[in-house]
Amino acid sequence: MPIIHPAVRTFFRLNGALIPAAATELAFRAFKSTGRPAEVKDPERAVHGQSVSELRRIGTHTVRVYTWLPTQPSHSGEIASSHLNATPTVLLLHGWRSRTSRFARLIEQFTSQGYRVVGFDAPGHGDSPNGSPSAADIVAIAQGLEESFGPWQAIVGHSFGALAAHTLARSSKHSVRVVAIGGATSARFLRDTFMRAIDLPLHLKDQFTTRIVRGYPLPEGTLFTEFDEAIRPPSTNTRLLIVHDSKDREVPLTEARQLHLDRPTNSELLITDGLGHNRILHDPEVVERIVDFVAEPILL
């Protein structure tokens, strides 16, 4: 969540009472704003440059897709292009106002262990054209990519991407490992966090919710019914690693603890201390545990 200027908070607090309909509409526009696209950082540049990059049209979205090939033989011992569908493949889903290159450390480790890695910059993010995707859009894009690159052996999601990862895994026909890093667990959490950030009055929650539902229509249900791990049934073919920092200021640790409690038989919780919401992606011990977890068999 970007830093909100005090004047913006004052605007929504006052106008939420005076002109609620206009305040709600402006809040929705701010809610879906992706901001200025994130750029590749210097420590990520070498790994980013090693990818095979292409623009792909998937459904109604055009996105920049990245593929990293194994730098060591895969578990099957084959890395030639004619055998890529037999190569274990990991899908990466980045967070809001982020990009795939933020996973550079993980990409290095996965490819060195024989994995192919696939990721995409969400619409309006990184090097993808303009857009304002919902979690449902991220799932749809990933499902489209699976036709070319899948099945996924693992799905790794950070923050907003973790929310999409849960739903994507639930729809999979294959056993899949999911890694949720600093992850949101519901659209409800995203709404409530945003309302607090801009100081939108609580009495506008229903109106704001209705505007979000109308702005992001789904074929069945709504973002609030389809993207809520507290009410959605756990996947029967998924093994879950939850990675969260105790000092995460974007998504509190309570979200991770509750998710772990809701998945007592098929989840593992790794709590770090002092890495925050973003540096956790680059920590060597975290990266090592994630790669080891993906290599473990799923015992159902």
CA distance 203 to 267: 37
pLDDT of residue 82: 40
What's the angle, vertex CA 242, arms to CA 175 and CA 274, rounded to 5? 155
In angstroms, what CA-CA distances link 23 with 33, 191, 201? 15, 15, 10
- What percentage of the chain has pLDDT greater than the value 70? 94
| DSSP 8-class letter at 151 | -
Average pLDDT, the chain: 91
Nearest alpha-carbon partner for 183 in 134, 243, 133, 142: 243
CB-based contacts of 18, cutoff 8 Å, min separation 6: none
E strand spans, 17-79: 52-58, 61-68
116-121/61-68 β-pairing: antiparallel
Task: Specify the amino acid at residue 283.
Answer: D
> Structural domain boundaries of the chain?
1-31+187-226, 32-37+50-186+227-295
Token couple for 138: 């991220």
pLDDT of residue 83: 46
Token couple for 41: 């950082």
Token couple for 1: 């969540």
pLDDT band at residue 234 using 50, 70 and 90 as cut-offs? confident
CA distance 117 to 22: 44
Whether domain 32-37+50-186+227-295 has CATH 3.40.50.410? no
Higher pLDDT, residue 78 or 217:
217
- The answer to whether the peptide bond before residue 151 is cis (omega within 30 degrees of 0) is yes
CA distance 214 to 206: 12
Residue 10 pLDDT exceeds 80 = yes
Which position has the token pair 């979205």? 61
pLDDT of residue 175: 84
In angstroms, what CA-CA distances link 194 with 97, 186, 189? 14, 13, 8
Residue 81 pLDDT exceeds 60 = no
Torsion of CA 291, 114, 162, 61, to 10 degrees: 170
Nearest alpha-carbon partner for 63 in 131, 117, 3, 12: 131
pLDDT band at residue 77 using 50, 70 and 90 as cut-offs? very low
What average pLDDT does this structure show over 243-269? Answer: 94
Tell me the CA end-to-end span of the chain in Å, nearest whole number.
37
Q: Is the pTM of this model over 0.85?
A: yes
pLDDT for 102-158, tens place per residue? 999 999 999 999 999 999 999 999 999 988 999 999 999 999 999 999 899 999 999
